[in-house]
Every structure is written in C-alpha cells, then in structure tokens.
Chain A
Amino acid sequence: MMDNILSILIFLPLFTAVLLGLFRAELKYLKIGAMFSSVAILLLVTWTAYNFDPDAGMQFVKHAPWIQNSGMSYFVGLDYLSLLILLLISFLMPPLYIYMYHENRKGYWYNMMLLQTGVTGAILSLDLVLFYLFWEMMLLPIFIMIGKYGNGMHQYNAMKIILMTILGSMSMLFSIMYIGYIYFDTVGMWSFALTDLATLSFNAKTSIWLTAGFLLAFVIKIPLVGFHTWMAPAYGSSPTPAVVIMSAIMAKLGIYGIWRFGFDLFETTLVYYAPTIITLALIGLLYYAIRAITEDNLRKMFAYSSGSHLSLIALGLFLTNLYAWSGSLYFIATHAMASAGMFIMIGLTYKRFKTVQISALGGIASKAPKFTFFFSFFALCIAGLPGTGGFVAELLIIIGAFKANFWIGVLTATTMLSAMMYIFWMLQRTLFGKANNDTQYKDLSLREVIMLLPLAILLLATGIMPSLFTPIFEPQLTASLQEVLNIIGGLK
C-alpha cells in the first residue's frame, strides 16, 4: 500500500474513465463514478498527508523500470512541494464535480477525470520522461474542453493554447533528451531519473541552453509577460471547470517545474537567468494589473489577475531567500483556492445572467445576499485582504523582496495596491449599483453553498492560523533552500 499509494492516486481517475467509457456508462453512473473517484482520492490523499513525515525527504517512492533500453523509469515520489499541489487538486475536484452536477454532456466528465490523472501524474513523477508524458497528457482534456464546450472563438483559442504550450514542451523535450545523452556520455547508460541527473555537472554554455529549454516550457505555462498571448483568450473562452483547473493548478505547474527541475538540476544557471525572470515578473505584475483594471470581461479580468499573482510567485521563487520561498509556497496554495472559488463564482454568474461582462451586471447585492457574500469573499481573498491567506503569502514575498533589494521590494508592494484597485472597482460595478438587466436574481442554492463553503473556510483558516499548516512544509522547504543556497553561495 505504502509504495503503491501514489500510483493509485495517479491512475484511479483514468481507470474509472476507461472503465466507464468501455461500458458506455449512462450519464447517471458516469457522474457517480467521477464523484466516487474524486472522493476516494481525497480520502487517500488525506491519509497520505497524515502519514507524511515533514522531516524526511522524498517519500512513498516507487521506482520501477519502464522502458529499460533508454533508461526511462516509472519513478514517483512525494515531498513538501508535490504534497501541497496534490492536496490542492484533490481538494478541488469534488467541489468542481458538484458544480458540474447538472452537466449533461458526457465528454465533460471524461475529460475532467483525464485531467486529474494528467495533473496528479505531472506533480508526482520524478523521471523526466514520465513528467513530460503527464505534462503533455493534461493538455489534451483542456484542448478538447475549450474547443468543444467553450464560448466565443473557442475553436481558435483551443488551437492557440495547444500550439503555444506544445512549443514550450517541445523545447523542454529537447533539453530532456540532451540531459539524458549527457548522462549517457558520462556514466555509460541511459537514465532520466531526477536523482541520477542531479549528480551531473554541466559546463556553463550547455547548462544555459538546457535551462532555456526547460524555462521556455514553464514560463509559457505560468505565463510570464511576453509569453502570455494565449492566456486571456483561453481563459475567456474555456468552460468554468477547465478554467478553474487552469488557473488554480496548471499555471502553478509552471512554478512547480522551475522549483522541482530547475532548482534540482541547474541551481547555478538559474542565478544567471534570475535577473531576466525577475524583470519579466516585475513587468508582469504591473502590466497584468493594468490590463485587469481596464478589462470588462470578468473571466479575462481574473485571467490577468491570476497572471499578475503568478508573476509574484515566480518572483518570490527567484529571490531565493526564506521569506520569499515560504511566501511563494504559501501563495501557491491560497491563490489556487481563491482563484478556484472566484472562477466558480464567475461560472455561477454566467449561469444566472448569461453574461460575464461587468458593464452588463449590477445591483446583485440587494437581491442575492449569499451570492454577494461569497463573490466578494473570494474576490477579497484574491486582493489579499488581511485575515485571508493571500495576505500572509503576499506579505512574506514582499518582505523577501525588500530583503533582496529595496526597489524590487517597492515595485512588488504595488501589487497589493493594484489588486485592491481592480477588485474593489469590480465589486462596486458588479454587485452594487443599479440593476441593468431584468433577469431573475436567484440566490445560491444549498448545493452551491456546500460546494463553496470548504474553500472559504480553508481560506480563512490559512489567513488566521498559518501556523496550522506551516509545520508540514517548513522543515523540507528550509532544507532544500539551504541546499540551493549552499550551491549558489559556493559559486559566489
């Protein structure tokens, strides 16, 4: 059980989907099956987290030969970083399935299950080729969901997102193959396991190119400014469950990739890239914030907001000090929950009013109090209101930025300000003011409250009592940061 638990977590949704698909299950059973698999995974993940030892490194490791000739192996393991994202994805799936309760198109359900497998696999795999497999695999469901169930120019946007992200993955593939070859050249056999490759040392020029290959994939996924052209259209035209996963989880995988593979394989080269990334992230902070202020479409607005916050996380990661790193880690969690809640709220808005244009909304507050409460709660979480988890995380990153450099700190601090600006203005225009349409204002139903409540409670808990969660992650975080600092420091 102990060493197969991760494999079960990865493949249970896929297995369920294939099984249901083979028997051409009716919609009812499909829904039950999906819900069952997600709840089962949630329970298993809770069990895993309970048994997780904060002081040990990689845990629940399973290392088995896969395609032996070329050294690819089935290598999965869990540490603080993957545990965090694993908790997030498994925690988000059941509410999403509740959200999709009335969804009658079968493809939707299948794609969501495949998506969960892809994401879970990507965060747990420690073999580069295996990682690449899941990294690509999670694109397919997104591609189909945007293209088939999206709105607006969804077919075009689906093609756009897949082409841009695959451009990134192809460059990553090149780096992966080259690393494998270098390992073969020095050791005499093929291997793509992270533990093996971490022992290699590259010469500077090679390392710069290899890192560039990886970074391109991750930077497109985040996306940092300049690589972001797919983001707003894709967020704007994807259906709600897809956009929740995209902003809450998949964007974080870009960060995860840098964190896991970047800092394990190329610590020293990342120092070389740090100024570029930090500059891009700073530009991104401001640029995305301005785009968010001027945006009239709620989905796109929060796409930009999400871009802005992810730039902040990337910034924190590249500052490499304890404040910034713990802030980034904390922000991954809180932003995932807040943006998931927000995009669900936007989805509910669309269900009620058939529009997500801010200019077409208004006057909701007086008619639908519960809706207003949750809407503004998640929005404020994104803005980083004190008392919510986002505040703690942003504060940590800002402190880290000030520690690194005064001016970076100043620029970073503007993010809180600009977020407040667009969030409050948006709230004022959507929730308050005069109603500009005659649609029925339905308040949240019990089912919808049940699906939102856990997210809200967790967000509050992370804000008020951070000490509840930090002990699980902190020891390993500190240790791995120390490791990175040792290597970088040795360089200086």
Chain B
Amino acid sequence: MMTQILFALPMATIVIGALVLMLLSHSRKFTMQRLNILTVFFLLISLAVQLMIIGEHSSTFLFQDIFGDSFILDDFASIFDLMFTVGAILTLLINNDYFKSRRYFSGEYFALILFSVFGMMMLSHAHELVSAFIALEIASLSIYALVGYHKNNKVSSEAMMKYMVLGSMTGAFFILGTALIYGVVSSTSLTEISMYVANHELQELTLLIVGSSFIMVTIMFKIGAVPFHSWIVDVYHGAPYPITMFMASTFKIAIFAIALRLYLVNFAPINSFWSELLQIITVFTLIGGSWLAINQKLVKRMLAGSSIVHSGYLLIALSSLGLGSEVAAPAIMFYLIAYFLSAVGSFGILSFIASQSKKQMSYDDFKGFAQKRPYMAIMMSIFMLSLAGFPSTIGFLGKFYIFTSAIESGQLLLAGLGILTAFISVYYYFKLIAVMYFYSSDAAEKKFPLNISTIVIAIMALLVIWGGIGTSLIPFIPGADGFIDIAKQAIISII
C-alpha cells in the first residue's frame, strides 16, 4: 500500500498543488511572481518523486483494488510524466517575464496549468478507454480555458470558441468509439481489448475497427493532422504565448503518449488495416501543413502551421510503427523531445520579445534583430535550424530517426515526401534567419537581459546543439543518443 501511494505521489502532488494555488490565488500577498515560483515548486517536488521511483519497478497497476486495471505504472508512462513535468516547468520559467508584462494573468492560470499537467499524466498512465477519455478531457478543458484567458481580446476569445466547439465535438467521437468497442468486447480495458483482438480473425472485428477509427479521429484532431487541422493556426495565434508554447509542445507529447500506447499494446494486430489510411493522412498533413506555413506573415502563425508539418513527420513514424519498424517508437519519442526543445525555445524568444513590446511580430518586425540583440538572434537561428532539421542540431537527429524508420518499414515514398517537406520548411525557417541578419537597423545594440526567462532559453539553445553533436567521445556526459536508449527501454516496458 505504501509503495502504491508513493507511485501515485507525483500525480497527487500536482493535484494538491493545483488546489492550493486556486485557494491562494485570491490572496493579495501572492503576486504573479510568487505564484509562479510556487507552481514550479510543486512541479519540482513531483519531478523529484518521479526521478526517485523511475526504473525501480516493473509494470504495476495503480490501486488495483480500487481502480481495477484503469491506471498502469510503467517506464513508458514514467518517462512521459517526466516530459510533461519538465515541459511545464520550462514553460513557466521561460514566460516569467511575460506574466509580469500582461495584466490579464491571474492566479487561476497556474492552477489550470497544473490541472492540465495532471490530466496529461493521467492520460499517459491510462490503461482503459473511459479513464483515458476523462484524462484527455481534464487536460483539454484546462487548455480551452487557458486559450481564452485574455478575455477582452477578441482573437483570443474566438480562438477559444473555435477550439472548444470543435474539440468537444471530436471528443464525442472518442466516447462513441469507446461505446462501439465496448459493444464488441464488453470491456473497455486495454488488456481485454487486445486479448479479444488477438483471438479473433480480422473479419470479425469490423465494429471494433470502426470504433477505434473514431478514437483515431480524436487523436488526429488533437495533433492537428490535416483533415482535422482547421483550428490549429487560429488557435495558436489567438492563445497567449505561454499557452501556445504549452500546447505545441507538452500537450502534443501527451496525445502521442496515448496514441503510442494504443498502437503498441492494444490494436497491434489490426494496425495493418489502418496503415493505408494513416499514410494518406500523413501525405495530406505534410503537404497541407507546408502550404499553411509558407503563406503566413506572422511568425507565430508560421510556427503554428509548421507544427502541423512536424505532426506529419511523427505520423510517418506512426505508420512505420504499424508496418513493423523497430526504431519507429523510440524515434517518435526522440522527435517529440527534439521538437519540444526547439519549439519551446522559439516560442520562448517570441514571448520574450512580446513581453518587451506589443508588436504582432510579423517577419518584417524581425528586420535588424541580429544587430539589436545578437545573442537572441543566434539562439533564434539555432532553434530555426533545428526545426528545419539542419545537421548539428537535435532536429536533424530527430528527422534522421524518423526517416530511417520509414525506410526500414519500406515506405520509401513517404520518406521521400518527408524529405521534400523538410526542404520546403527550409524556406520558411530560413526566411526568418534571413530577415534577422540581412537587414540592418538604426537601433543601438541592447544588452543581453539576464533573468530566468533568458537563461532558460539559452540553456535550451545549448541543449539543442548538444543534442545534435553530443558525442560519446567526451566522458561523463551522456551523448545525444542516450535518450534513444531510454526510449527503447520505455517501449519495451509496455510490450
């Protein structure tokens, strides 16, 4: 029992933290700054506990006598938990300046962030469809609220309405799919479902396939794959920077956590049925995302569009996974980390600039940026290079793993298309570098502001470089490929 409580402690800490913050948020003593520090403190406690228990256990169900096998604790879930926690911490630290500069933030904001982290953690632990849905909704509802956090801003409110209406509708698909699956299997536990799938011929599974396709719709919507992408650019644009950052990186990781688990455990035998569908979606996602990203004038919208393309790369790996590639699952996890670092970094710089001025930040606003803020420009270039998959950054390795997984599973055309879209992405990422460096400005050079936000961004820039060239030559520091080993371990733990 004690160990069970210990295992649940990371999640419990987050919920307690959220509740405490909700209570404290109306006290006048607590400024935004202090609340932020308190939130990070709760996250850090959770992180410490997670680090303590990771790797010390084989897969166990959490409180099996109460919840049955709804929640599982394995390396896979633990590693994703780590990512969410670290992601939330980084988001909060990077946006420290932004919170101070915008008056509309209040204490609930932090509670909502913690609730959504809690939802994501539940999602990665979920081993049963209804709990997965509840977890997904906890995370989503918090994020709906966060997107529309700037109440007086029309764009923000519009974004929230758009996201909430569409999101709830696709959420309904999840429930519908679950109902259909329950109708066939008479259980919603993943173990039961996978046993049922294993023991039956593909022809007997029609209803189950329909049901799981409905679940797929929800997942595709949340990651912004192309037929379900219409919300993404507007929502990313309308949301305040910290939320955009949080959605683009951390929330996306959470969705892939459940997608990977479903794929790897549950529906493995019927993956072959989906692979074609998934390939078609991938093609649309890659092309459509590139099209959206090319045509944007605002950098934030460009990043939103390009996040669709990055989902496309991940889908390539997902469909390779279905076709039996061994490196695909670790590749997805590695790519999520790579994308996380570069996206959070670039959004972080945008939010830093936004905290200094109220500009919309189109490409043109970056003219002469390299002269005004040379260090910031270098870091932004590093993030752009990483997003474009330029070698010597972590983004290159991420793409490398993704494409080799596609080649391994025989999807040469898909890999080729991926490379082609990576080439197109060079255009819109290098455009920003070009704008920053090619134009001179009259403004004098500003000093590099040393505060939490900028230091964290700088660390991330170094991590991006380290992730790309980190080598096993230098002793005591793990190389870039260290993470792949961890990811492989995690994948083994669920199979």
Contacts and interface: CB of A to CB of B under 8 A. Distances in A.
Contacts of B430: 143, 159, 162-163
A163 B426 contact: yes
Contact of B407 (A107, A171, A181): A181
Given A66-B473, A68-B472, A170 B407 contact: no
B423 A167 contact: yes
A107 B436 CA distance: 13
Interface stretch (B167-175, B227-235, B292-300, B389-397): B389-397
B416 A174 contact: yes
Name B's interface SS: helix
B438 A158 contact: yes
A143 B403 CA distance: 27
B404 interface: yes
B160 to A, nearest CB: 37
Interface stretch (B181-189, B209-217, B476-484): B476-484
Q: Which of B401, B408, B434 has the most CB of A within 10 A?
A: B434
B400 interface: yes
Contact of A66 (B404, B433, B472): B472
Interface string A157-197: 01100110011001101100110110010000000000000
Interface string B376-418: 0000000000000011100001001101100110001001100
B450 to A, nearest CB: 15
A148 interface: yes
Contacts of A166: 423, 426
Given A132-B391, A143-B430, A162-B426, A70 B473 contact: no
Given A137-B392, A159-B431, A70 B407 contact: no
Interface string A59-71: 0000011111110
Contacts of A95: none
B75 to A, nearest CB: 18
A67 B401 CA distance: 12
B400 A70 contact: yes
Nearest to A190: B404
Given A132-B391, A163-B427, A174 B419 contact: yes
Contact of A158 (B434, B469, B472): B434
B481 to A, nearest CB: 4
Interface in B107-145: none
B455 interface: no
A74 interface: yes
Contact of B419 (A158, A159, A170): A170
B438 A173 contact: no
A449 interface: no
B419 to A, nearest CB: 5
Nearest to A134: B391
Contacts of B403: 174, 177
Interface string A61-90: 000111111100010000000000000000
B419 A173 contact: yes
B438 to A, nearest CB: 4
Contacts of A177: 400, 403-404, 407, 415
B64 to A, nearest CB: 36
Nearest to B416: A174
Contact of B404 (A67, A147, A154, A180): A180
A69 B397 CA distance: 11
User: Of A74, A147, A180, which is in contact with the most chain B CB atoms at under 10 Å from its CB?
Assistant: A147
Contacts of A171: 419
- What DSSP secondary structure best describes chain A's contact surface? helix
B201 interface: no
Interface in B253-312: none
A404 interface: no
Nearest to A69: B481
A154 B440 CA distance: 14
A68 B473 CA distance: 10
A443 interface: no
Contact of B485 (A69, A74, A178): A69
Contacts of B434: 143, 147, 155, 158-159
Nearest to B424: A163
A133 interface: yes
A180 B401 CA distance: 12
Contact of B437 (A70, A144, A178): A144
A144 B435 CA distance: 11
A180 B404 CA distance: 9
Interface string A106-130: 0100000000000000000000010
Given A158-B438, A177-B407, A67 B423 contact: no
Contacts of A132: 391
Interface string A377-410: 0000000000000000000000000000000000
A93 to B, nearest CB: 22
A136 interface: yes
Contact of B471 (A74, A143, A162): A74
A148 B422 CA distance: 25
B437 A74 contact: no
Given A162-B430, A174-B403, A67 B437 contact: no
Given A136-B391, A158-B438, A163-B427, A65 B473 contact: yes
Nearest to B390: A136
B435 to A, nearest CB: 9
Contacts of A180: 404
A446 B29 CA distance: 73
B404 A64 contact: no
Contact of A178 (B401, B407, B470): B407
A170 B420 contact: yes
A147 B430 CA distance: 12
Interface in B439-477: 469-473
Given A170-B420, A178-B407, A65 B472 contact: yes
A155 B438 contact: yes
A11 to B, nearest CB: 11
Given A133-B391, A159-B431, A170 B438 contact: no
A266 to B, nearest CB: 18
A174 B404 CA distance: 9
B332 to A, nearest CB: 15
Contacts of B392: 133, 136-137
Contacts of A69: 481, 484-485
B473 A74 contact: yes
A133 B469 CA distance: 10
Contacts of B471: 65-67, 74
A166 B426 CA distance: 8
Nearest to A130: B391
Nearest to B471: A66
Contacts of A64: 473
A171 B403 CA distance: 12
Contacts of B484: 69-70
B479 A67 contact: yes
B404 A181 contact: yes
Given A144-B437, A147-B434, A162-B426, A174 B415 contact: yes
Contacts of A162: 426, 430
Contacts of A65: 471-473
- Closest 5 A-B residue pairs measured CB to CB? A69-B481, A133-B391, A147-B438, A170-B423, A67-B481
Given A65-B473, A143-B434, A171-B419, 13 more contacts: A66-B472, A66-B479, A67-B397, A67-B472, A70-B400, A129-B400, A137-B391, A144-B437, A158-B438, A162-B426, A170-B422, A177-B407, A180-B404
5 contacts: A66-B473, A159-B427, A159-B431, A163-B426, A174-B419
